């Protein structure tokens, strides 16, 4: 990391108004936190920890925040500089009003945010790790600027184009939100904002494998609810999905013949929707030249939180093969 920038990092006070240690200080005690200006008035909530010469960028999914990485970071910071962020529209990052064509929530725009964060931290090349929406952002990043990525770890996704193309009744039923969030005129935002707590509990419990319920304590769910009490968070989420169904699809379609050369590790929950409805390994082998991975046992959708020990071991072995 750039030494000057490291010394200038603004470490937020990790206490709430009542003087209680906040959740970031509890789960990421050695990380420094700041809002990084990436241009156009967008600031990305960023936490940086570790001292390694190589960097790893971790990108979360929906409807969560950087907190999904709480189990993995202790095993990574001894070897790498670890950067965890909230995507544009999520957590404590900026949530701009969506444009008519949703371009400012395209995965290209969201990926460019992350490239700028890493550049400002002094890393022009780095490992990328993404879960769910974060993996979709990472997919666009490796398509647009493969020269900047040492490796990509994709968790519980196939390319968005493929999943929309192969939509079945079962998929549409289980991934109902893909089709609800894209509705217009602020309708889904208004419905979702009516009861954020119920939304979080319903959404996560629907997808978490039964063996992992204890890994989602109330304080974690409460933090997700806190972020969703901001109406613009639901707007950002809906715009993310609207972009996926429109402008992102066009970008992905244009890149169908482009094969990813950056090494890819694909991990997915054996009991999750993606793993049950698709041949995930074959899907990634069609899109990338160098792929390895496996279905994680006793695991639903939230792979890094449900089976972090398995994920960490797989990641460390994979990352070690592709040093800077």
What positions carry a catalytic annotation? 132, 301
Give the Cα separation of 243 and 235 in Å (integer): 12
Alpha-carbon torsion angle 295, 245, 144, 77, nearest 10: -40
User: Which run of H or E residues covers position 293?
Assistant: strand 291-296
Give the Cα separation of 230 and 223 in Å (integer): 12
- Contact indicator for 161, 140 with CB cutoff of 8 Å: no
CA distance between the termini of the chain: 13
Helix axes 133-144, 247-254, angle to 10 degrees: 40
Range 1-9 contact pairs with CB under 8 angstroms and sequence separation of 24 or more: 1/48, 1/55, 1/81, 1/121, 1/122, 1/123, 2/120, 2/121, 2/122, 5/120, 5/121, 5/122, 6/48, 6/122, 9/34, 9/48
Give the Cα separation of 320 and 317 in Å (integer): 5
Question: On the CB side of 4, how many CA atoms lie within 13 Å of its CA?
Answer: 2
- Contact indicator for 289, 263 with CB cutoff of 8 Å: no
Residue 83's DSSP bridge partners are 48, 57
User: Which run of H or E residues covers position 75?
Assistant: helix 73-76
Give the Cα separation of 215 and 220 in Å (integer): 9
């Amino acid at each position: 990391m750039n030494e000057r920038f490291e010394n200038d990092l603004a470490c937020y006070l990790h206490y709430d108004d009542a003087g209680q240690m906040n959740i970031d200080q509890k789960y990421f005690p050695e990380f420094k936190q700041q809002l990084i200006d990436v241009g156009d008035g967008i600031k990305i909530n960023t936490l940086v920890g570790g001292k390694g010469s190589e960097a790893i960028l971790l990108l979360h999914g929906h409807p969560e925040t950087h907190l999904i990485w709480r189990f993995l970071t202790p095993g990574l910071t001894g070897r790498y500089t670890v950067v965890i962020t909230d995507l544009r529209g999520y957590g404590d990052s900026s949530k701009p009003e969506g444009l008519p064509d949703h371009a400012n929530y395209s995965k290209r725009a969201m990926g460019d945010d992350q490239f700028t964060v890493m550049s400002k931290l002094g890393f022009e090349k780095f490992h990328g790790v993404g879960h769910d929406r974060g993996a979709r952002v990472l997919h666009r990043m490796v398509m647009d600027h493969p020269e900047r990525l040492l490796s990509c770890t994709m968790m519980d996704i196939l390319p968005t184009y493929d999943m929309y193309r192969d939509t079945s009744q079962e998929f549409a039923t289980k991934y109902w939100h893909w089709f609800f969030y894209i509705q217009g005129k602020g309708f889904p935002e208004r419905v979702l904002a009516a009861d954020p707590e119920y939304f979080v509990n319903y959404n996560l419990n629907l997808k978490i494998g039964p063996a992992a319920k204890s890994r989602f304590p109330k304080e974690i769910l409460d933090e997700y609810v806190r972020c969703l009490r901001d109406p613009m968070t639901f707007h950002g989420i809906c715009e993310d999905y609207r972009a996926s169904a429109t402008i992102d699809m066009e970008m992905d379609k244009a890149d169908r013949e482009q094969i990813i050369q950056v090494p890819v590790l694909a991990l997915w929950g054996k009991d999750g929707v993606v793993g049950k409805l698709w041949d995930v390994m074959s899907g990634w082998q069609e899109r990338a030249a160098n792929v390895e991975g496996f279905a994680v046992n006793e695991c639903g959708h939230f792979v890094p939180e449900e089976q972090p020990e398995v994920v960490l071991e797989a990641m460390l072995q994979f990352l070690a093969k592709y040093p800077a």
